[in-house]
Amino acid sequence: MLPSLSRLFRDIQLGIKNLLLHKLRSLLTMLGLVFGVGSVIAMLAVGEGASREALEQIRRLGSRNIIISAQKPSDEQTATNVRSFLSIYGLLYSDVTRLAETIPTLERIVPVKVIQKEGRLGKRAMDLRVVGTNADWFELVSRPLIAGRVINQSDQAGRKNVAVLTEYGARRLMATEAVIGETLRIGSNYYEVIGIVQNESAQEGAIQTPDQQTDAYIPLAVAREHFGDVFTQRKSGSQIRERVELHQIIVEVESTELVELTAAAIERQMQLYHSKKDYVVSVPLALLKQAEATKRIFNTVLGAIAGISLLVGGIGIMNIMLASVTERTREIGIRRAIGAKQRQIIAQFLIETVVLSVSGGVLGIGLGLLIPWLISKIAGMPTVVSAHSLILSLGISVSVGVIFGIYPAMRAAKLDPIDALRHE
Amino acid sequence: MAMLPTEQTKAAATPAAARFENIRRTYIMGTQQVHALDGVSVSFEKGEFWAIMGPSGSGKSTMLNVLGCLDRPTGGKYYLDGQDVSALDDDELSDIRLKYLGFIFQSFNLIPQLSVEENIALPLYYLGWKEEDSAKRARELAAMVGLETRLRHRPNELSGGQQQRVAIARALANDPVFMLADEPTGNLDSGTSEEIISLLKRLNRAGKTIIMVTHEPEIAQNAGKRLYMRDGLIAGIEG
């Protein structure tokens, strides 16, 4: 038999030739699809970029982690104007031991106590977020160590006055990495700087990120001993005093499958021992799932918009092809008289529409690559053009060509050869 | 009406190029039935050159359409090279046209966006010929009609006579059982008409069967046989 591939190639060549006879018309017809495909890819890229960023932020919190944070109960808000009012809320030291004892699915449990204090190192000073925690913290946030070492079990047990700084904090205080072994003063206490960890670039996420640029990590027992549990804030003449034992408890669950179950168990345990709702249990995994669900909705909406624009493009193509069929009635008659079968006429016109729509699709892909690039360049938004969106667009272009080309092609094929030959 | 050579020639070794047996073609115009062909029996033998004549509405166009397998008879039998083609479907008729027939039209009917060579090669494309082979054949045919220097031209760059010669070359491409010419000189001046007719006569002498519809008696004089149509019936056969 004949080599059908070279024949198809010939058919495509003929199609291109016919389309080039009316360059402007073909171009205008394609435009609908160019913009349709282009905007679909661009929107997907922007959406993907935004959601990937959000998902990454959540993922960074750890998909196996559950974060229990202290929260001031809302009914106490009204009492803030009362002078020297002491509000007691937040997580308790006993919560840590109780959770560790009652919930078997925990791999790690990390208590966090946060104190805002000024730190001094020689002449330099900066406001620090002093984090009292244990050795597990560094496992949990897994921040690369730059110099020295992190807090270990013996620091904890020996209640040693040691501190780990972030890279940012170390730079601010010393502008050199030789801070290891120096003495850091926080409030009225002195600490030996034992290590520097890389800081996570501060980004505002949906929930509070567990570590920040200005952190100074010290053993929890030391923090408790030095700073106590009562904090005083002075605000426009009035004093707010709070007693908070722990600000956060971060737990790591054995496996992601157990996260939701464990979160529910924690919630129950906390309810049992906290009469007020002075804590929040947040599950990054749940947020992740929620973000993914949002992304799916977003994609669906996008798909609908894309569908409409491609429909419009397709109708444009159909319109032109119908005009082309009318215009070329004579040619169809000649081909039929010579012996072309109906399906060969269909193939001829269908190839033309598919060539038209695929050309539009390819130009659209070009546009779809250009727009996200410009958006990233100019607006600084992250965009991700995924390979599958390109393949999808090309597939859609072919489908548009076939779907909207089939009717004009059938109409051409169904023409009576005698009438077609008589057509002026 | 008495001249019906059908029965006598049936026994011949080679079948007729085209043979009608009581062919009818009836159109429904509103509530009225129009008998464009009202029971026509005629046999066109191989190697003959026929002219079909008659006033408009006599049924000669319908006859041409049926002969050309563009139209199906409502009744009767049509044998093309011995093969009954009266009840074939659209695809099968297309195949018959492709393999056994060559058309020449009054208005040339070349495809404007294709070159001379491509127009001539068009039937070969549908026959599934390889591109090299069909290009070679197209060039040979172009040379045969004296257009070997015009291969790359578009139809609209040629004179009427040249265009008709391209059409003749195209009709010859598939080496048809017979060629059907519908007023082949109708759009040409007398000088060019002469040229085309002599080309057809040359082809006939070389063995081609030609059936030509014309209303010009002086053109018809060139054909070996003349068939006169009137009211859907054969009014007479000459030659």
- What strand order describes the sheet that includes B209-213? B101-104, B178-182, B209-213, B49-53, B225-230, B233-238
- 3 state SS of B103: strand
Q: Which residues contact A345 (CB under 8 A, 6 or more apart)?
A: A332, A335, A336, A409, A412, A413
Q: A37: which 2 tokens?
A: 């495909």
**pLDDT score recorded for residue A208:** 45
pLDDT at position A204 over 50: no
The H-or-E segment that residue A183 falls in is strand A183-186
User: What's the angle, vertex CA B193, arms to CA B97 and CA B152, rounded to 5?
Assistant: 65
**pLDDT score recorded for residue A255:** 85
Amino acid at B41: S
- Least CA distance to B98: which residue of chain A? A339
In our burial notation (b when 16+ CB lie closer than 10 A, e otherwise), range A125-149 reads eeebbbbbbbbbbbebbebeebbbe
Query: Would the CB atoms of B101 and A334 count as touching at under 8 Å?
Result: no
Q: Which residues of A touch B (CB under 8 A)?
A: 1-3, 6-7, 10, 17-18, 21, 330-331, 333-342, 344, 417-418, 421
Query: Would the CB atoms of A2 and B170 count as touching at under 8 Å?
Result: no
Q: B129: which 2 tokens?
A: 């010929």
What is the sign, positive or negative, of the torsion defined by CA atoms of B136, B141, B146, B150? negative
Q: How many residues does chain B have?
A: 239
Express each pLDDT in A362-400 by its tens digit.
999 999 999 999 988 898 888 888 888 888 888 888 898
Query: Would the CB atoms of B131 and A335 count as touching at under 8 Å?
Result: no
Nearest CA among A318, A383, A407, A389 for reference residue A356: A318
Percent of chain A with pLDDT over 90: 20
Going by pLDDT thresholds of 50, 70 and 90, the confidence category of residue B80 is very high
Q: Which residues of B touch A (CB under 8 A)?
A: 65, 68, 70-71, 90-91, 94-99, 101, 103, 105, 109-113, 122-123, 125-131, 170, 174
Q: A113: which 2 tokens?
A: 């106590």
Q: Mean pLDDT, chain B, as a whole number?
A: 91
Query: Would the CB atoms of A418 and B70 count as touching at under 8 Å?
Result: yes
| Contacts B113 to A, Cβ<8 Å | 17-18, 21
Express each pLDDT in B187-236 by its tens digit.
999 999 999 999 999 999 999 999 999 989 999 999 999 999 999 999 99
Q: How many residues does chain A have?
A: 424
**pLDDT score recorded for residue A3:** 57
| Residue in the structure block whose two tokens are 């002969």 | B67
Query: Would the CB atoms of B94 and A421 count as touching at under 8 Å?
Result: no
pLDDT at position B7 over 70: no
Q: Mean pLDDT, chain A, as a whole number?
A: 84
- Least CA distance to A331: which residue of chain B? B111
Going by pLDDT thresholds of 50, 70 and 90, the confidence category of residue A405 is very high
Query: Would the CB atoms of A338 and B111 count as touching at under 8 Å?
Result: no
Minimum-distance CB partner of A339 among B98, B110, B130: B98
d(CA A364, CA B94): 40
Ranges A24-33, A151-160, A269-278, B196-205, most confident: B196-205
Query: Would the CB atoms of B109 and A17 count as touching at under 8 Å?
Result: no
Q: A15: which 2 tokens?
A: 């199609």
Task: Please tell me which residue, A282 or B201, carries the higher pLDDT value.
Answer: B201
Mean pLDDT of A122-143: 83
Least confident of A77-81, A87-91, A385-389: A77-81
Look up the pTM and report it: 0.71
Give the best residue of A328, A329, A338, A348 to mutate against chain B (max B CB count within 10 A). Answer: A338
Express each pLDDT in A242-259 by its tens digit.
888 899 899 988 888 888
User: Residue A400, Cβ neighbours under 10 Å: how many?
Assistant: 29
**pLDDT score recorded for residue A304:** 84
Query: Would the CB atoms of B105 and A421 count as touching at under 8 Å?
Result: yes
**pLDDT score recorded for residue A408:** 94
User: Residue A287, Cβ neighbours under 10 Å: how many?
Assistant: 20
Percent of chain B with pLDDT over 70: 95
pLDDT at position A82 over 60: no
pLDDT at position B96 over 90: yes
Going by pLDDT thresholds of 50, 70 and 90, the confidence category of residue A207 is very low
Q: How far is B93 from chain A (nearest CA, A)?
A: 8
Least confident of A97-101, A196-200, A228-232, A350-354: A196-200
d(CA A217, CA A186): 11
Minimum-distance CB partner of B94 among A7, A17, A341: A341
Going by pLDDT thresholds of 50, 70 and 90, the confidence category of residue A415 is very high
**pLDDT score recorded for residue A383:** 86
Least confident of A26-40, A328-342, B166-180, B208-222: A26-40
- 3 state SS of A7: helix
**pLDDT score recorded for residue B2:** 47
**pLDDT score recorded for residue A301:** 86
Query: Would the CB atoms of B131 and A6 count as touching at under 8 Å?
Result: yes
Radius of gyration from C-alpha coordinates of chain B = 18
Mean pLDDT of A76-86: 54
- 3 state SS of B95: helix
- 3 state SS of B217: helix
Mean pLDDT of B18-31: 92
| Contacts A421 to B, Cβ<8 Å | 105, 109
- Least CA distance to A424: which residue of chain B? B107
| Contacts B103 to A, Cβ<8 Å | 337-338
The H-or-E segment that residue A101 falls in is helix A93-102
β-strands B75-80, B83-84: how paired?
antiparallel
Is CATH 3.40.50.300 what the domain over B47-73+89-238 is classified as, yes or no?
A: yes
Nearest CA among B224, B219, B226, B213 for reference residue B105: B213
d(CA A48, CA A403): 29
**pLDDT score recorded for residue A203:** 44
Q: How far is B8 from chain A (nearest CA, A)?
A: 32
Task: Catalogue the long-range contacts made by B135-143 (C-beta closer than 8 Å, 24 or more residues apart).
Answer: B137/B173, B138/B169, B138/B173, B141/B169, B141/B170, B141/B172, B141/B173, B142/B116, B142/B117, B142/B166, B142/B169
- 3 state SS of A165: strand
**pLDDT score recorded for residue B79:** 95
pLDDT at position A201 over 70: no
- What are the residue boundaries of the structural domains of chain A, listed by start? 4-57+290-422, 72-277
- 3 state SS of A196: strand
**pLDDT score recorded for residue A144:** 77
**pLDDT score recorded for residue A83:** 52
User: Residue B33, Cβ neighbours under 10 Å: how many?
Assistant: 10
Cβ pairs A/B, distance under 8 A: 64
